C-alpha cells in the first residue's frame, strides 16, 4: 500500500508526523451518494442524518452539510459542533440516553428534533416544557451487531423504551398536549446482512402501527437508525446497499399503507457506512522484539485506535510499499496494557524500525474513541482530496494537557 486518494503516504507522514489519521474525502462523498441514491430511488422522502459520534471532526461535518445531509447528535457538544459546521436546526436531530435535565433544556432551547430514550426522559422534559413534537427511541426487543458490544437493542440493551411500554409513552405525550410524533430505533452496528434490516424495520413498523392506530397518531417520521456495516477483512463482502434499500422500502411502503401513515419521512442515521472505509491510521514501527512471540511495536496503540482492544475488532494492516507477507507477528502499541494489541498472529512482511504501518477502515469510531492514556498525545487528522492533503486537526500538545489543571495547582 502506497497511496491514499492520489497522495503518497510517506510524503503525508513526513509532512504531518505519525501517528496520523487520514481521511479520503472522495471516498466519503461516494459512500454518501451511494446510500442516498439507493434509498431515494425507492422512497424519495428518505433523509440521511450522519451519526456525528462516528467521527466528529468539524471539517467532516462541514462536508456532510455541503452534501445536503442532516446529522444525529448524541451530546450537547456534538450539537454545538454541528451548528458550528453550518447545519440548519431543521437538519439536526438529537438522540441521547439517560438525558439529564440540563441536557434536555439545552436541546430544547436549540429547537432541534429529539428522540427520547425513555418514558422517564419525557417526564423530565415535561417538568419544564411541552414540546410540539415527540419521538421515542424504541427497543423493538431484537438487536444484532458485528459483536456483542455493539448490539444496542434486545433484552440486554440499556437503550430505548421497551416496545411493550411504547403505547404508554406516546399516550403520556399525547395527553400532555404534544401534537406531532416520530418514532426511532437503533438496534445494532456493523450489520452486513440486508435481511437483518428488513426484519427490524418490519418489527418497528408493526410496533408503530399498533401504538399509533390506538392513539390515532400519524407519524411525521420513522427513523430506522444506522447500523449499515462495512467489511473489515478480505473475506467479508460489502453490504448490498441497493438490495437493502429496495427491501426496506418495500416493507416500509407496505406498512405505511396498512396503518394509514401516509408518507412519513424515512430517516437513516448512518455513521460507519459513510466514513469507516475512508479512514487510515498511519503509524511507524518503533521497536521489534523477538520474545516468546515476535512483537512489532508501532507508535499508535489502544490510545489511538481502541476498537481492537475494546471489542477484539480487526483492522487490516499494511506496510508502506509492496513487500510480500513473510512471517507471523503480533502488532502492538506502546501502552502499558497487554490488551494494547492490534492483531495477533498476523501474516506480515519483514519490517524494520521506521517503516510505516497503515491500518485501514478507521474512519468511524477511530479518533473519537482515542484517549490520553499513559499521557500519550492524540494524533493529528488530515483530509486527502485527490492529490491534496490538508491538516484538519493538529496533534495534541503538552499544553493541551496542562491547560486542564488549575493554574495555581502546578
Ligand atoms: N444512531 C444512534 C442513536 C447510535 O447510537 C449509533 C451508533 C448510530 C446512529 C450510528 O451507527 P452506525 O451506522 O455507525 O452503526 N464504537 C462502536 C460502534 C458503536 C455504535 C454506537 N451507536 C464501534 O467501534 O464499532
Q: What is the CATH number of the domain that holds 289?
A: 2.40.37.10
**Considering the domain boundaries, does residue 255 fall inside one?**
yes
**Shared domain check, 373 and 254:** no
Interval between CA 352 and ligand 1 midpoint (Å):
37
What pLDDT was estimated at residue 254?
Answer: 98
**Shared domain check, 178 and 196:** yes
**Considering the domain boundaries, does residue 363 fall inside one?**
yes
Count structural domains, the chain. Answer: 2
**Shared domain check, 305 and 231:** no
- What burial class does residue 83 get, using C-beta atoms within 10 Å of its C-beta: 0-12 exposed, 13-18 middle, 19+ buried? middle
- What backbone phi and psi angles, to 5 degrees, belong to 230? -135, 150
Q: Is the distance from the beta carbon of residue 186 to the nearest atom of ligand 1 less than 6 Å?
A: yes
Q: Is the distance from the beta carbon of residue 150 to the nearest atom of ligand 1 less than 6 Å?
A: yes
| Nearest atom (ligand 1) to Cα of 276 | 14
Q: Is the distance from the beta carbon of residue 271 to the nearest atom of ligand 1 less than 6 Å?
A: yes
- What backbone phi and psi angles, to 5 degrees, belong to 190? 60, 60
Of 118, 82, 80, nearest to 99 by C-alpha is: 118
Give me the sign of the Cα torsion angle 92, 34, 23, 236.
positive
Q: Are 266 and 222 in contact (CB under 8 A)?
A: yes
CA dist., res. 190 & res. 365, Å (int): 12
**Considering the domain boundaries, does residue 264 fall inside one?**
yes
**Shared domain check, 281 and 257:** no
**Shared domain check, 58 and 204:** yes
Q: Is the distance from the beta carbon of residue 96 to the nearest atom of ligand 1 less than 6 Å?
A: no
H/E element, 110: helix 101-110
Nearest CA to ligand 1 atom 24: 365
Q: Are 183 and 142 in contact (CB under 8 A)?
A: no
Domain with 193 in it: 25-274
| Nearest atom (ligand 1) to Cα of 272 | 14
**Considering the domain boundaries, does residue 342 fall inside one?**
yes
**Considering the domain boundaries, does residue 393 fall inside one?**
yes
**Shared domain check, 362 and 232:** no
Nearest CA to ligand 1 atom 19: 150
- pLDDT tens per residue, the chain (410 residues)? 999 999 999 999 999 999 999 999 999 999 999 999 999 999 999 999 999 999 999 999 999 999 999 999 999 999 999 999 999 999 999 999 999 999 999 999 999 999 999 999 999 999 999 999 999 999 999 999 988 888 999 999 999 999 999 999 999 999 999 999 999 999 999 999 999 999 999 999 999 999 999 999 999 999 999 999 999 999 999 999 999 999 999 999 999 999 999 999 999 999 999 999 999 999 999 999 999 999 999 999 999 999 999 999 999 999 999 999 999 999 999 999 999 999 999 999 999 999 999 999 999 999 999 999 999 999 999 999 999 999 999 999 999 999 999 877 77
Q: Is the distance from the beta carbon of residue 365 to the nearest atom of ligand 1 less than 6 Å?
A: yes
Partners of residue 135 on adjacent β-strands: 115, 182
Interval between CA 189 and ligand 1 midpoint (Å):
5
What pLDDT was estimated at residue 148?
Answer: 86
Q: Is the distance from the beta carbon of residue 227 to the nearest atom of ligand 1 less than 6 Å?
A: yes
Q: Is the distance from the beta carbon of residue 269 to the nearest atom of ligand 1 less than 6 Å?
A: yes
Partners of residue 114 on adjacent β-strands: 94
Query: Can you say whether residue 361 is alpha, beta or left, with left for phi > 0 and alpha for psi between -120 and 50 degrees?
Result: left
What pLDDT was estimated at residue 410?
Answer: 76
**Considering the domain boundaries, does residue 52 fall inside one?**
yes
Strands 380-385 and 92-95: unpaired
What pLDDT was estimated at residue 146?
Answer: 87
| Nearest atom (ligand 1) to Cα of 137 | 3
Distance (Å) of CA 331 to CA 288, 310, 359: 10, 16, 11
Interval between CA 150 and ligand 1 midpoint (Å):
7
Interval between CA 270 and ligand 1 midpoint (Å):
8
Report the number of secondary-structure helices (H) and strands (E) in the chain.
Answer: 12, 20
**Considering the domain boundaries, does residue 407 fall inside one?**
no
**Shared domain check, 299 and 193:** no
Interval between CA 346 and ligand 1 midpoint (Å):
27
Provide the 3-class DSSP secondary structure of residue 323.
coil
**Shared domain check, 363 and 265:** no
Q: Are 139 and 158 in contact (CB under 8 A)?
A: no
Interval between CA 159 and ligand 1 midpoint (Å):
12
**Shared domain check, 158 and 89:** yes
| Nearest atom (ligand 1) to Cα of 189 | 15
CATH code of the domain covering residue 162: 3.20.20.10
**Shared domain check, 212 and 83:** yes
**Shared domain check, 232 and 291:** no
**Considering the domain boundaries, does residue 19 fall inside one?**
no
| Nearest atom (ligand 1) to Cα of 227 | 15
Nearest CA to ligand 1 atom 7: 189
**Shared domain check, 304 and 198:** no
Q: Are 228 and 277 in contact (CB under 8 A)?
A: no
- Of 274, 309, 339, the position where a domain reaches its end is 274
Q: Is the distance from the beta carbon of residue 284 to the nearest atom of ligand 1 less than 6 Å?
A: no
- Of 274, 293, 328, the position where a domain reaches its end is 274
Interval between CA 335 and ligand 1 midpoint (Å):
26
Provide the 3-class DSSP secondary structure of residue 274.
helix
Q: Is the peptide bond before 19 cis (omega within 30 degrees of 0)?
A: yes
Which cell is 359 given? 491500518
- Of 254, 274, 294, the position where a domain reaches its end is 274
Q: Is the distance from the beta carbon of residue 143 to the nearest atom of ligand 1 less than 6 Å?
A: no
Q: Are 383 and 6 in contact (CB under 8 A)?
A: no
Residues taking part in catalysis: 336
Amino acid at each position: 500500500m502506497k497511496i491514499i486518494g492520489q497522495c503518497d503516504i510517506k510524503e503525508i507522514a513526513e509532512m504531518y508526523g505519525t501517528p496520523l489519521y487520514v481521511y479520503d474525502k472522495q471516498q466519503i462523498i461516494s459512500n454518501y451518494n451511494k446510500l442516498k441514491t439507493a434509498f431515494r430511488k425507492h422512497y424519495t422522502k428518505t433523509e440521511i442524518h450522519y451519526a456525528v459520534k462516528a467521527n466528529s471532526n468539524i471539517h467532516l461535518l462541514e462536508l456532510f452539510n455541503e452534501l445536503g445531509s442532516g446529522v444525529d447528535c448524541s451530546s450537547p457538544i456534538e450539537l454545538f459542533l454541528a451548528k458550528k459546521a453550518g447545519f440548519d436546526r431543521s437538519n439536526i436531530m438529537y438522540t441521547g440516553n439517560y438525558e439529564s435535565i440540563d441536557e434536555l433544556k439545552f436541546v430544547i432551547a436549540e429547537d432541534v428534533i429529539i428522540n427520547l430514550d425513555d418514558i422517564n426522559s419525557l417526564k423530565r422534559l415535561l417538568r419544564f416544557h411541552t414540546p410540539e413534537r415527540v419521538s421515542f427511541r424504541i427497543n423493538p426487543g431484537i438487536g444484532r451487531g458485528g459483536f456483542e458490544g455493539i448490539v444496542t437493542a434486545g433484552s440486554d440493551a440499556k437503550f430505548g423504551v421497551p416496545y411493550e411500554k411504547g403505547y404508554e409513552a406516546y399516550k403520556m405525550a399525547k395527553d400532555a398536549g404534544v401534537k406531532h410524533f416520530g418514532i426511532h430505533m437503533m438496534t445494532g452496528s456493523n450489520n452486513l446482512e440486508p435481511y437483518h434490516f428488513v426484519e427490524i424495520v418490519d418489527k418497528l413498523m408493526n410496533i408503530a402501527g399498533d401504538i399509533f392506530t390506538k392513539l390515532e397518531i400519524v407519524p411525521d417520521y420513522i427513523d430506522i437508525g444506522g447500523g449499515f456495516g462495512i467489511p473489515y477483512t478480505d473475506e467479508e463482502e460489502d453490504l448490498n446497499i441497493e438490495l437493502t434499500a429496495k427491501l426496506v422500502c418495500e416493507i416500509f411502503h407496505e406498512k405505511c399503507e396498512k396503518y394509514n401513515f401516509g408518507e412519513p419521512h424515512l430517516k437513516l442515521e448512518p455513521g460507519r457506512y459513510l466514513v469507516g472505509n475512508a479512514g487510515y491510521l498511519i503509524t511507524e514501527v518503533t521497536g521489534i522484539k523477538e520474545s516468546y512471540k515476535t512483537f512489532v511495536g508501532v507508535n499508535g496503540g489502544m490510545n489511538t485506535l481502541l476498537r481492537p482492544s475494546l471489542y477484539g475488532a480487526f483492522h487490516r494492516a499494511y506496510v508502506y510499499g509492496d513487500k510480500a507477507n513473510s512471517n507471523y507477528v503480533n502488532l502492538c502499541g506502546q501502552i502499558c496494557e497487554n490488551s494494547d494489541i492490534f492483531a495477533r498472529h498476523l501474516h506480515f512482511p519483514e519490517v524494520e524500525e521506521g517503516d510505516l504501518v497503515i491500518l485501514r477502515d478507521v474512519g468511524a469510531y477511530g479518533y473519537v474513541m482515542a484517549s490520553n492514556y499513559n499521557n500519550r498525545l492524540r494524533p493529528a487528522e488530515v483530509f486527502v482530496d485527490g492529490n491534496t492533503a490538508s491538516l484538519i486537526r493538529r496533534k495534541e500538545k503538552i499544553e493541551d494537557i496542562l491547560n486542564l489543571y488549575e493554574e495555581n495547582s502546578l
